[in-house]
Amino acid sequence: MSQPITLEDVLSKNETELLAQLSEKELARLYWKFRGLAKTLERDTAFWNSTNENLKVAYETLDEKERELAAAYHIIRDDLEVAQSVQNALLPRMFATMASELELGVYHKQLTEVGGDYFDYFRTASDRYAIGVFDISGHGVSSALVMAYLKAQFMTIMERLENPAEIVEWVNRASYEFLREVRKYATVNFVTFEESTLHYVCGGGYGLLLGADGQEHIFEKKNHFLGLRQKPYLEEQLPFVVGDLLVLYTDGMVEAQNLEGKDYSVARLNDVVWRHRTLPTEEIVRLCVEDYHSFRTQDSDDITLLIARKTA
Amino acid sequence: MNEQNAPPDQMLVHGSLMVGFAQACVNLNIVAGRDATNFIKGLQINDWYPLAQWERLQELVVRSYGNVDPIMVKVGIAMMTGWYHYGPGKEVVRRGASFLHYQTGSGGFASVVRGPERVVGSFELELFDKSRGKAIVHSTTPFNRKMECGVLIGGMLAPGDIDYVDVRNDEDSDHLVVEFH
């Protein structure tokens, strides 16, 4: 006598004609199994509907946040554009004594709208002049604010002190607590000019003097950054006569890398300057920037390159 | 917090319940899943935790959904599916219907909560009629009722011998009406 057909037999054999042989009990089981599946489907549908509704709300929220973000971004952009004009307005213009003795070429580019590279021209107490090139740590708005602060410090002291080491030391002392508080520091390359000599204080950054006679002098970094220590600064003196070329720059160009991860380097920049040293300073700067652009993949820092030739 | 440190009138929830809940959320990919995983970091599965900590975990799910009821049902089912197939469930429950007795007895709800009765409440089987496929559980616990519906559904379906289970509490939120066949 054969075993009665069960629901499991029908399902496992996948033979629908066996359905007719199911007992009433097995048919009832089939009924409840179907109801069970329908109930599971109902619960799953409710679950997914709720999840979909949640996703819809999430998308709407995301959309709203995106609009808010876009609005906030526009406000920030507008503010940055204003900040950029303010920072550009803080950049120096040559005054008469300087213009009569120096031929200048400058390339200055902040990585973002505003930045922490800073160069300036100062009138000294004895109506001579000075040039400063600074690189404030970090980028962006905070560094730009520190730049404005340092400019104010230099403007305050330039009318009272003459000696470059004393000037830088005074600025460092006056700024020290502030810079510590905002966790910033700045490289300093500060040069004062007399009739036929220059005095420099170098605490970071790069300086190169190419004499008209072919002599080359690289600035010695004997000093500390502004805001790092409170101790005296040392200055050096060099002859600076007609035809001599002074090159001051921050690390923005020389530390930029190419696709192989190689630095543009001080050696390469100095070599470009050397090869074109007889050209007008603006042309030398243009060629330096052209060579730099051909090398690096992208800018990674603020950039300042300043080239001055003694003309009188 | 362990039970020795708990105030005497405080309800405590077993770590296994909290981990089971969070794991179910993760398995279902519901919004709170990642948050829940972070939340249970550091929890010990055999330790006891204040009810407030459980409520914070549950709130992660509740606050994310406009209609949370179907979600909580599904979470309850997933908790019991995990408990049965990956936990000790198979050892203690052999048939779907017996899960009702287990869950309302000393090994179920009572084993994962501690504290004064007025706070803990109870989870009792008021009616069990196997021939009609009907049972009623009276719940006064502080847990989400829809999750409890899901726990009963998941626990009864897990052994695989029951073809149909539905649990509703529409008419009286504290009475979970079970239909099974």
Kindly state whether B17 is in contact with chain A, defined as any CB-CB distance less than 8 angstroms: no
User: Residue B4 pLDDT more than 50?
Assistant: no
Residue-averaged pLDDT of chain B: 89
- Could you tell me which residues come within 8 angstroms of residue B50 by beta carbon, excluding any fewer than 6 positions away? B1, B6, B10, B11, B12, B13
From B66, B68, B166, residue closest to A57, measured CB to CB: B66
Stretch among A62-76, A170-184, A270-284, B36-50 having the lowest mean pLDDT = B36-50
State whether B181 and A51 contact (CB < 8 Å): no
Would the CB atoms of B31 and A54 count as touching at under 8 Å? Answer: yes
Mean pLDDT along residues B82-99: 93
Instruction: Check whether B9 has a pLDDT greater than 80.
Output: no
Prediction ipTM score: 0.89
The predicted pLDDT at position B64 comes to 82
A45: left (phi over 0), alpha (psi -120 to 50) or beta: alpha
Please answer yes or no on whether B74 and A36 come within 8 Å at the CB atom.
no
Q: Looking at residue B42, what is its pLDDT? A: 77
- pLDDT of residue B68 exceeding 90, the answer is yes
Nearest Cβ partner for A54 among B65, B163, B165: B65
Nearest Cα residue in chain A from B75:
A47
Q: Hey, which bits of A184-244 come out as E strands?
A: 186-193, 197-203, 206-210, 216-218, 236-239
pLDDT score, position B41: 78
User: In this complex, is the C-beta atom of B163 within 8 Å of any C-beta atom belonging to chain A?
Assistant: yes
The nearest alpha carbon in chain A to B74 belongs to A47
pLDDT at B136: 97
Residues 6+ apart with CB under 8 A from B63: none
pLDDT value of position A3:
82
% of chain A at pLDDT higher than 90: 85
Residue-wise pLDDT tens digits, A102-141: 999 999 999 999 999 999 999 998 889 999 999 999 888 9
Q: Which residue has the higher pLDDT, B135 or A4?
A: B135
Calpha distance A164→A273 (Å, rounded): 26
* Sheet of strand B113-114: strand arrangement: B48-50, B12-14, B113-114
* Contact criterion met (CB < 8 Å) for B71 and A57: no
Mean pLDDT of A192-208: 95
A52 touches chain B (CB under 8 A): no
Contact B74 A43 (CB under 8 A): yes
Mean pLDDT, chain A, rounded, equals: 94
Please indicate whether, in this complex, the C-beta atoms of B65 and A47 are within 8 angstroms of each other. Answer: no
Q: Model confidence at B26, in pLDDT bands (50, 70, 90)?
A: confident
Whether residue B145 is predicted with pLDDT greater than 80 in this model: the reply is yes
Q: Given a cut of 70, is residue B137 above it in pLDDT? A: yes
CB B85 within 8 Å of CB B79: no
Beta bridge partners of B14: B48
Measured between CB atoms, does B77 come within 8 Å of chain A?
A: yes
Residue A46: list chain B partners with CB under 8 A: 69-70, 73
Choose the mutation target among A7, A31, A49, A54 for the interface with B, i.e. most B CBs under 10 Å. A54
For residue B140, which of B152, B131, B130, B148 has the smallest C-alpha distance?
B148
* Preferred mutation among B63, B72, B164 to probe A, highest tally of A CBs within 10 A: B164
Point out the residue among B31, B69, B163 whose CB comes nearest to the CB of A36.
Answer: B163
Q: Is A59 near chain B, with CB under 8 Å?
A: no
Question: pLDDT tens across A298-307, in order?
Answer: 998 999 999 9
Cα–Cα distance for residue pair B28/B30, rounded to 1 Å: 5
Decide if A53 and B67 are in contact by the 8 Å CB cutoff.
yes
Say what the pLDDT of residue B23 is.
Answer: 86
Q: Does B164 contact A32 at a Cβ distance shorter than 8 Å?
A: yes
- Assess A54–B contact: CB distance below 8 Å, yes or no: yes
pLDDT beyond 50 at A238: yes
Does the beta carbon of B164 lie under 8 angstroms from any beta carbon of chain A?
Answer: yes
Residues 84-113 of B with CB under 8 A from A: none
State how far Cα A115 lies from the chain centre: 7
- Tens of pLDDT, residue by residue over A16-37, are 888 889 999 999 999 999 999 9
Instruction: Please check whether residue A286 touches B, CB under 8 A.
Output: no
